[in-house]
Amino acid sequence: GHRVAPNRGIALRPDSFSWSILIALSIAVGFSVAAIRASAEPSDQDTDFSVTTKSEAGLYQVTLRTEDGERPPIGVMHRLILELLTDNGEAVYPAQVSIGGGMRGHGNGLPTQPQVVAYGGDGVYLVDGVRFNMEGSWKLSFIIASDYGRDRVDIEIMVEF
């Protein structure tokens, strides 16, 4: 009998190094495409996203915006910036913030459970874990508790392509 040595040529099984390269290239291409799309879009007020409103009992002035200032994306996890000020403009810290909401007219809750993950000073809180899974009218509800009192604010957001 004649024995054939096993093939020790190029392995086609995925190893962590080749997957890392593939993922890094995919991310780089994704950022390049996103940068090209962003630069091609007109920079008018329609692409900006920032909402400022008073809480129900008037204890807080609340501003909500996306981390990059653009409209919230669809189907992508992202972060929001929540700014909490008192009615006379003082930064609110510390505060406990509970977040809920859902899609208007559908009875759906949020597809994720966003939460405050960091405080940036000057009443600015970072909200992580936000994902709107479809186009339409969404409501985010924030229940705020601090030394100034407990209050609630509902913010309407139109998510569209």
CB 140 within 8 A of CB 154: yes
Asked if residue 86 lies in contact with residue 59, where contact means CB atoms within 8 angstroms, the answer is: yes
How much is the pLDDT for 160? 87
Q: For residue 3, what pLDDT is reported? A: 54
Look at phi and psi of residue 89 and say left if phi exceeds 0, alpha if psi is from -120 to 50, else beta. left
Tokens of 132: 């709107």
pLDDT score, position 108: 78
Check: pTM over 0.85? Answer yes or no: no
Give the residue from 130, 134, 123, 126 showing the smallest Cα distance to 94.
Answer: 123
- pLDDT above 80 (res 4): no
**Distance of alpha carbon 109 from alpha carbon 76, whole angstroms:** 17
Q: Is the pLDDT of residue 110 over 80?
A: yes
Residue 42's pLDDT is 36
Q: What's the average model confidence in pLDDT over 73-83?
A: 95
